[in-house]
Amino acid sequence: MTLAATPTGVTARVPGKINLQLVVGPLREDGYHELATVFHAVGLYDHVIVTPSDDWSVRVGGRHADRVPQDGSNLALRAARLLAEESGGQQPVSITIDKQIPVAAGMAGGSADAAGALVACDALWGLGLSRDELAVLAARLGSDVPFLLHGGTAIGSGRGEQLAPVLARGRLHWVLWISRHGGLSTPEVYAECDRLREAAGHTPPDPEPTGELLTALRTMESTAVGAALHNDLQEAAMSLDPTLATVVQAGLDLDVEGAVVSGSGPTVAFLVGSSDAAIDLTVGLAARGPEGDIVRVDGPVPGAQVVGSFTPS
């Protein structure tokens, strides 16, 4: 019998998400909003590396490292500790995050790191938990964490943590505009949405995704998907960050299939019909749009997965 060597470190890769649709329902008694969303994982990745250590710690590097907490409030560290606790106690880990997903940007970057930490620690500690078992812990960490484990394209309901797969074939090409002047706080955007609705005397309906989007996703026909993009938080995000209206308009004035603010913003996702169109739009936005990082990504991509492990030789 050969015993598998215990790895001395594991790396997980985890994508960011955009929301193709986000329909916000009423505020619940627990402070969350009932919602219906269509999540879509896109190829902008963080890497989460875990190595055994005497103490729990987290270090963050990469393009978006500033503004990520490096203390006990870090979501990846909380995920690792939660998994250790729930699996009967494990040796502490030191976590290193290469942060390429923007922070407080509506792309669930913190949730992504939590999902990455769950799969990396599961592999490091040899727990062999199923995705469904990890998803239960993921939901305790944040509404978007189960989706970042799942990846692909999926409907989220409840507060976003209950997932149902979407029948989707093919690939979509996106250009993301990412703010350089700071993120938006998710609770503040939801509160602004409530305030705007109250001022307009608008009662939110029971949320569900539209049939048009689900039909369009079956073939990933970009014109039909583009026409069905929708976000109930978009007006609130634009009210808190008026630059976003200019960004969306700049894209619509160029050649796009659709435009939508992702989640609580301020990232704006533009759908285009081909990778050549994505390059043209990148050039056009850089020349005309408000200053921001412009990134081309494809979707859907898989959720958090182990991409490497170091084993003692």
Residues 6+ apart with CB under 8 A from 23: 35, 36, 37, 207, 208, 209, 230, 232
The answer to whether 2 touches 311, Cβ cutoff 8 Å, is no
Query: Quick one: which of 126, 187, 205, 308 contacts ligand C5P (CB under 6 A)?
Result: 187
On whether 236 is known to bind a ligand per the annotation, the reply is: no
Dist. CA 218–CA 216, nearest whole Å: 5
* d(C-alpha 183, C-alpha 161), whole Å: 23
DSSP state of 55: S
Best CA proximity match to 142, nearest among 84, 91, 82, 94: 82
Site string for ligand C5P, 241-280 (x = CB under 6 A): ----------------------------------------
183 binds ligand C5P (CB under 6 A): no
Which of the stretches 58-66, 168-176, 182-190, 298-306 binds ligand C5P when contact is defined by CB under 6 A?
182-190
Rounded CA-CA distance 302/285 in Å is: 28
- Closer CB to ligand C5P, 165 or 187, in the complex: 187
Task: Indicate if 122 belongs to the active site.
Answer: no
Q: Out of 20, 35, 112, 155, which residue is the one contacting ligand C5P (CB under 6 A)? A: 35
Whether the bond into 92 is cis, omega within 30 of 0? no
Name the helix (H) or strand (E) containing 75: helix 75-86
Nearer to ligand C5P, 28 or 180 (CB): 28
Which residue do the tokens 């619940």 mark? 28
Task: Establish whether 99 is a catalytic residue.
Answer: no
Does the footprint of ligand C5P cover residue 159 (CB under 6 A)? yes
- Tell me, residue by residue from 119 to 158, as one string, x for binding to ligand C5P by CB under 6 A and - for no binding: -----------------------xxx--------------
* Catalytic-role residue among 46, 113, 122, 144: 144
CA distances from 163 to 115, 146, 244 (A): 15, 8, 29
Q: How far is the CB of 22 from ligand C5P (least distance, A)?
A: 9
- Cβ-in-10-Å burial (0-12, 13-18, 19+) of 32 comes to middle
**105 annotated as a binding-site residue:** yes
Q: How many residues bind ligand C5P (CB under 6 A)?
A: 12
Which region, judged by CB under 6 A, interacts with ligand C5P, from 2-10, 26-34, 226-234, 244-252?
Answer: 26-34
The Cα–Cα gap between 296 and 107 comes to: 14
User: Which residue carries 């250009």 as its tokens?
Assistant: 175
Q: 31: annotated binding-site residue?
A: no
Nearer to ligand C5P, 20 or 35 (CB): 35
17 binds ligand C5P (CB under 6 A): no
**x/- letters, 188..227, toward ligand C5P (CB under 6 A):** --x-------------------------------------
List phi, psi (to 5°) of 162: -95, 120
* Residues in the chain, overall count: 313
Instruction: List residues forming the annotated binding site for ATP.
Output: 102-112
Chain residues binding ligand C5P by CB under 6 A are 31-33, 35, 142-144, 159-160, 186-187, 190
- Active site amino acids: 17, 144
